[in-house]
Amino acid sequence: MFTADGELRPDFEPEETPVAPPPPPPSSGPRQAPSPSPGPAAPQAASARKPQPAEPAPRPSGAQDASQPAEGPDEEAPPGEPAGEFSAIVRSLATTAYSAMGLLPDPTGARHRDPAIARQMIDWLGVLESKTRNNLSFEESDFLSRVLYELRLAFVEVTRPARR
Under 8 Å CB-to-CB from 125, ≥6 apart: which residues?
90, 93, 94, 97, 144, 147, 148, 151
Query: Model-level pTM?
Result: 0.51
Q: Using CA atoms, how far apart are residues 116 and 100, in angstroms rounded to an integer?
A: 8
Residue 2's φ and ψ, nearest 5 degrees, are -120, 150
Paired strand residues for 6: none
- pLDDT for 22 equals 62
User: What's the Cα-to-Cα distance from 31 to each of 26, 101, 151, rounded to whole Å?
Assistant: 9, 73, 68
For 68-98, what is each residue's pLDDT tens digit?
Answer: 444 443 456 566 667 788 999 999 999 999 9
Each residue of 88-144: pLDDT tens digit?
999 999 999 999 999 998 788 888 899 999 999 999 999 999 999 999 999 999 999
Phi, psi torsion values for 101, nearest 5 degrees: -80, -5
Strand partners, 2: 8
